Amino acid sequence: MIPPQFDYIRASSIDEAVDILSEDPNAKALAGGQSLIPLLKLRAAAPSKLVDIGRLKELRYVRQAGDGLAVGALATHAELERWAGPCGVLPEAARQIGDPQIRSMGTIGGSLAHADPAADWPAVVLALGAVVKARGPSGLREVPAEEFFQGPYSTALQQGELIVEVSIPRCPPRASYVKIAKTHNDFAIAGVAAAVWAKDGVVEEVRLAATGVGLKPVRLRKAEEAIRGRKIAGDLLAEVAEAASREVEPVSDVRASAEYRRAMAGVAARRALRRALGL
């Protein structure tokens, strides 16, 4: 790697990292490095300082919290892949990210902060109704996932703010994440996460979210409406696929045309719901 020159600081506490990041707008936090390091290699990023938070053990955890889960920002994809507790959609999604090397290094917090419009975690945290907890110069702030993603590589994080935790209030009893990609370690052409609460064979509550099909990850609200309150049956699948395809606003790029991504959003939604409901 031959990046432009930068200073390197290994943060010994969250406070130290926040201090440095808030003083210097050109400083960047380094966690697992799976997005930032490639940008440095390409000389596409030229930070003044890298604040390495990778050794802050206090940010590296996954634990149950009430009906939900608290995931430390530095939990790696590999650690989430091995998670055997509630919110089984986390390991299901984690195993679809990159390859074993990337999963060993990359962190959920880093992925959310980078906000690649085709990354996997954003769709999952949206479907889980997660709250992103960020620490900044003025203390702890809670940002619902809905408000966190603002555009390609753009989030609600303000200068000096670090993600410290992803908090999932309530693990859905049925959930799934389906990613459609050309090869195993490629970015999603379309990915859809589904979280469903059912009662007496009826969809009581559902959250669907998609990635790769627009400038940022999105809730599929029309698709949700199409099935909320409905009896669980095979006919939901076609309807959810159609609604999802219709409501996304994908863009064309070298990986796929907008039309193809639109179609794949439907396929991913159908498959995610089918897997979540066990149909």
Partner 1 sequence: MRHVGRPLARLEDYHLLYGQARYVDDIELPGMLHAGFVRSPYAHARVRRVDASEASSMPGVVAVFTPQSGKPFDFAPGGKVRYQGEAVAMVVAADRYALYDALERVYVDYEPLPAVVDPIKAMEPGAPLVDESLGTNVSHREKYASGDVERALASSDRLVEEELSTGRVVPSAMEPHGVVAAHDGRTLLIYDSTQKPHVVRREVARSLDVPLAAVRVVQPDVGGAFGSKIQVYPEEVRVAAAAMALRRPVKWIATRSEDFKVTTYGRGLVLRYKAGFTRDGVLKAVKGEVIADAGAYDWFGFDLASTAATMLPGAYKVVDLDVDAVSVLTNKPPLGPYRGAGRPEATLFIERIMDLIADETGLDPVEVRRRNLVPAGPYDNPLGLHYDSGEYLAGLERGVAATGYYDLVRRAEAARAEGRVLGVGMSFYIEITTYGHEVAIVRAERDGSFTVAVGIAPHGQGDATGIAQLVADELQIPIERVRVVWGDTDVVPDGVGTDGSRSLTAGGSAAVLAARRLLDELRKAAEELLGGPATYSEGVFRSGDKSATVGEIVEAVYRGKVKAQLEAMEVYRARPTFPYGVGVVEVELDPETGIARPLLYRSYDDIGVVVNPLLAEGQIHGGALQGISQVLYEQVVYDQDGSLATPNFAFYHVPKAVEAPRYEPHFAETPHRSDHPTGTKGVGEAPTVASAAATIRALEDAIRRAAGRRVRLRSTPVTPEEIYRLIHGGA
Q: How far apart are CA 230 and CA 220, in angstroms?
A: 16
Binding characters for partner 1, 105-144, by CB under 8 A (x = yes): ----------------------------------------
Should residue 7 be labelled a site residue for partner 1 when binding is judged by CB under 8 A? no
Q: How far apart are CA 45 and CA 63, in angstroms?
A: 34
| Residue 46 near residue 6 (C-beta atoms within 8 A) | yes
DSSP per-residue letters across 63-132:
EEETTEEEEETT-BHHHHHT--SS-THHHHHHTTSS-HHHHHH-BHHHHHHHT-TT-SHHHHHHHTT-EE
Should residue 233 be labelled a site residue for partner 1 when binding is judged by CB under 8 A? no
The amino acid at 167? S
Nearer to partner 1 by Cβ, of 202 and 279: the residue is 279
Q: How far is the CB of 37 from partner 1 (least distance, A)?
A: 13
Nearer to partner 1 by Cβ, of 22 and 185: the residue is 185
Q: How far apart are CA 17 and CA 220, in angstroms?
A: 36
Should residue 38 be labelled a site residue for partner 1 when binding is judged by CB under 8 A? yes
> Which position among 171, 263, 265, 276 is part of the footprint of partner 1 (CB under 8 A)?
263
Binding window for partner 1 (CB under 8 A); candidates: 2-10, 61-69, 195-203, 208-216: 2-10
Q: How far apart are CA 167 and CA 237, in angstroms?
A: 29
- Rounded to an integer, what is the distance from CA 192 to the centroid of its chain? 11
Site for partner 1 in 56-85 (CB under 8 A): none
Q: How far is the CB of 116 from partner 1 (least distance, A)?
A: 11
Going by DSSP bridges, is the β-strand pair 68-72/162-168 parallel, antiparallel, or unpaired? antiparallel
| SS3 (DSSP) at 133 | strand
| SS3 (DSSP) at 153 | coil
Binding window for partner 1 (CB under 8 A); candidates: 56-64, 158-166, 182-190, 199-207: 182-190
Q: How far apart are CA 7 and CA 277, in angstroms?
A: 50
> Which position among 12, 23, 26, 42 is part of the footprint of partner 1 (CB under 8 A)?
42
Q: How far is the CB of 260 from partner 1 (least distance, A)?
A: 4
Instruction: Give the burial class of 9: count Cβ atoms within 10 A of its Cβ; 0-12 exposed, 13-18 middle, 19 or more buried.
Output: middle
Q: How far is the CB of 157 from partner 1 (least distance, A)?
A: 24
Nearer to partner 1 by Cβ, of 89 and 241: the residue is 241
Nearer to partner 1 by Cβ, of 11 and 240: the residue is 240
Q: How far is the CB of 49 from partner 1 (least distance, A)?
A: 17
Nearer to partner 1 by Cβ, of 38 and 66: the residue is 38
Q: In the complex, which residues of this chain contact partner 1 (CB under 8 A)?
A: 2, 4-5, 38, 41-43, 99, 180, 182-187, 189, 254-257, 259-260, 263-264, 267
